[in-house]
Amino acid sequence: MHKNDLGHRRGILIGIAGASGSGKTLVAQTLYDALGSEKVVTLGEDSYYKDLSHLPFEDRVKFNFDHPDAFDHELLTSHLQKLLQGETIEHPVYDYSTHTRKIETHRLGPHQIIILEGILILNVPKLRDLMDIKIYIDTPPDVCFIRRLQRDIDERGRSVDNVIQQYQETVRPMYLQFIEPSKRYADIIIPHGGKNVIAIDIIKSKIEKLLVEIE
């Protein structure tokens, strides 16, 4: 189990999907804290947005960031494969205020457990095939919208009108077309997100069992 072509043991990949604002990051952070930071690294699909620096800013703002084509899933898949084989990667850094990828990168690895969170990760077969545990955070859309509104204003420099327009034009339609249907691929569906301590404990126990198997 969990061997690459060279016969070496690899790490464990946990995928956490769900709508924007569903609580994916909180679940990832809760697992990170519970399992021990020296073993775990977390990655966000958001960091792998395609660089839009070749477009004028007014065109970047209109871009559909909730469609699968908005992400460089090939690079993400390559990086995950390297991490799972015990290698290090140069993790991209994305600037949400300008919709561009920064020049600097962050070196990550090696770690035994990789937690990947993102809205569309269960929608991509290559990513699903790498995952040992597939999780979907099932949070009511109105709660997700309120959280997204607060986050985008506070952390990403957006206006209320801009967030609402984006939600109506791309976020909600893409959720219905791509994100919500990907729930059927999940091994575990968690209502209430990171506050569901029972689900978190079950996942933690399963990860610990997988760790024993690869040691």
Two tokens, residue 169 = 């034009």
Q: Which residues pair with 101 in a beta bridge?
A: 94
Is residue 186 over pLDDT 60? yes
What are the phi and psi torsion angles at 153 (to 5°)? -75, -45
pTM for the complete prediction?
0.91
pLDDT at 68 (0 to 100) = 96
Measure the CA–CA gap between 19 and 53, rounded to whole angstroms. 26
Give the pLDDT confidence of 7-24 residue by residue, as tens digits. 455 799 999 999 999 999
Ordered by where they begin, the domains of the chain are 12-200 (3.40.50.300)
pLDDT band at 202 (very low <50, low <70, confident <90, very high): very high
* Average of per-residue pLDDT across 70-86: 96
pLDDT at 6 (0 to 100) = 35
Least confident span in 63-77, 124-138, 193-207: 193-207
Measure the CA–CA gap between 190 and 188, rounded to whole angstroms. 6
Are 14 and 116 in contact, with CB atoms under 8 Å apart?
yes
Measure the CA–CA gap between 138 and 159, rounded to whole angstroms. 27
Give the pLDDT confidence of 93-152 residue by residue, as tens digits. 999 889 899 999 999 989 999 999 999 999 999 999 999 999 999 999 999 999 989 988
